[in-house]
A = this chain, B = another copy of it.
Amino acid sequence: MFDFNYFTPTKVVFGKGTEKKVAELIKEFGGTKVLVHYGQGSVIRSGLLGRVTALLDEAGISYVMLGGAVPNPRLSLVYEGIELCKKENVDFILSVGGGSAADSAKGIGYGVVNEGDVWDLYDYKKKAKGCLPVGVILTIAATGSEMSSSSVITKEEGLVKRGYSSDYARPKFAIMDPELTMTLPDYQTACGCTDIMMHTMERYFTNGGNMEITDSIAEGLLRTVKKNALILHNDPQNYDARAEVMWAGSLSHNGLTGCGSDGGDWMTHKMEHELGGLYDVAHGAGLAALWGSWARYVYRDCLPRFKKFAVNVMDISGEGSDEEIALKGIEAMEEFYRLIGMPTNIKELGVDPSEEELKIMAKKCAIGVGGEHGSAKRMNEQAMLDVYRMAAGR
């Protein structure tokens, strides 16, 4: 067991119609001039954005708007948001949308408060000294950005996707209304469930430090999302299943499922960042496409955890050697991906990288992690290439 810090200051307001509290919450956290940041058309089409701005008008809260956050949110939009906030003296950012809008909002918040190029944070060149306060109205359960310290941004030049984490960026509040997620297409729901589970799995598969209570929470969360992802695949309007998945999304990435460990493995995420940066695939789908290959590559080096996962999460019975049970757990996870329509290799993502492109991704990934990374198994550039090759069917 390792020492840990745990800090989740976000005020969560969860349930039907909770977006009505947005003005009250912005005022509670001192916002007087707001940047309303959102993504593409869905929050406009659903009427949510209109309801939100009407509430701000009613409460006499001044605001400016910035749309356009896309999956794998772009640095150029972050720069645009920073300029707008500075020009308009914005003191609070409200993200209306999914993880892309929230991550982008955090990037903007960093850029307003910290001098110099905000990309330097994501490029590990300097550390943040603060961030504008951010509040979130969540419309997609996936990234956990609504409670997390992390923000992932893609720089267009070279298609470099990087994450930066600091407690400064943890949202002040998160408005979570499961009904807002009911109109999501099945594929996006499945991507979200995959990402949610992966945030806990990245923390779970380690060789450094565990706590039983953390494991029991992690396993319970994984079982819950797995069950409800299957329900939503057939019954997307199921409120309770939407709510289970939505709350799991926050708990899975706010730190709770990693207390007492060495921080986790995170290689699947790191490798997906290169895939998502280069091919702009949905993050969750990219994770699913890589995970099985990563798991087969590393499981012998982290056998007790893979066995525990197989038994306690995937309900594999106790017969067979540890290695056999671990493998059955990996297979069962891949079968689950297939059941919810997720890919289990890179080709099923609809892309077919050349050997040269696999090498570029491995090289960029290795640079991104500073040479090597991973806790289930330490991986260098060659190991990353091996996993990319496996996932690409080579």
Contacts and interface: CB of A to CB of B under 8 A. Distances in A.
A251 B224 CA distance: 19
A243 B15 contact: no
Interface in A197-242: 211-217, 219-221, 223-224, 227-228, 239-240
A394 B85 CA distance: 71
Contacts of A27: none
Contacts of A228: 212
Interface in A1-47: 1-16, 18
A317 to B, nearest CB: 17
Contact of A247 (B14, B221, B259): B259
A257 to B, nearest CB: 10
B3 A14 contact: yes
A251 B217 CA distance: 11
Nearest to A15: B3
Nearest to A259: B247
Nearest to A224: B213
Contacts of A224: 212-213, 216
Contacts of A3: 14-16, 18
A244 interface: yes
Nearest to A248: B213
A243 to B, nearest CB: 6
Give the interface size bracket for A toward B: 35 or more
Contacts of A260: 14, 243, 247
Interface string A319-330: 000000000000
B12 A6 contact: yes
A11 B7 contact: yes
Copies of this chain present: 2
Contact of A14 (B5, B223, B251): B5
A244 B14 contact: no
A6 B2 contact: no
Contacts of A217: 216-217, 220-221
A312 to B, nearest CB: 10
Contacts of A4: 12, 14-15
Contacts of A227: 212
Contacts of A16: 3
A205 to B, nearest CB: 18
Contacts of A10: 7
A229 to B, nearest CB: 12
Contact of A220 (B7, B12, B220, B239): B220
Which of A6, A9, A14, A251 has the largest count of B CB atoms less than 10 A from its CB? Answer: A6
B223 A216 contact: yes
A136 to B, nearest CB: 14
A1 B177 CA distance: 13
A1 B220 contact: no
A3 B16 CA distance: 7
B211 A247 contact: yes
Given A12-B6, A13-B5, A216 B211 contact: no
Nearest to A16: B3
Contacts of A251: 213
A221 B259 CA distance: 14
16 contacts: A1-B240, A1-B243, A5-B13, A5-B14, A6-B12, A9-B9, A211-B244, A212-B224, A212-B244, A213-B221, A214-B247, A216-B221, A216-B223, A217-B217, A217-B221, A220-B220
Counting from the closest, the 10 A-B pairs by CB-CB distance are A3-B15, A216-B220, A6-B12, A9-B9, A213-B224, A7-B11, A212-B224, A4-B14, A220-B220, A217-B217
